[in-house]
Structure 1
Amino acid sequence: MNFVLKLIYKLLFISTAYRRLLLIIYRSAFKKVGRNVLFNAYDLFSYKTIEIGSDVFIGKGATFSASKS
């Protein structure tokens, strides 16, 4: 049982680290991003056309799509 718990903790750590890495990569894909912005890296965004201000939290399951006008 101890082995299983250790394995679960390691998998959770890897999953969290991967999600944070994606957040850093995808954050730079937005047109403009302020400070202290959190979003789910698995949500759908049209990154190159979206500007986000500072102190923004975008909840899980969000879909943002914007076109140039």
Structure 2
Amino acid sequence: QSLLDPRLVTEWGIPTTKLATPRSVSSLDNRNLSSITLQTVPLRLQVSGNHVETLTFYVFPSPQSPLVLGHSWLVRHN
């Protein structure tokens, strides 16, 4: 799943919805980091000027990389 930092969600005024079941987030060594409780509404994403698709993002603090495309997106487009 792709991620979007909550500061961007607020700054850009992106609507969110609450997840029915929170998603746990763990580190590479399996330590629990936090849980994700919000996702964005479906958003139109334009990449490289000519590729357009609709994605939802989990809202998760990631100030160093405020938008992270998930593994499934990368597999589909690589």
* TM-score bracket relative to the smaller structure: under 0.3
Q: Higher Cα Rg: structure 1 or 2? A: 1
The structure with the greater share of residues assigned to helix is 1
State the TM-score, normalizing by the size of structure 1. Answer: 0.23
Q: TM-score, normalised by structure 2?
A: 0.22
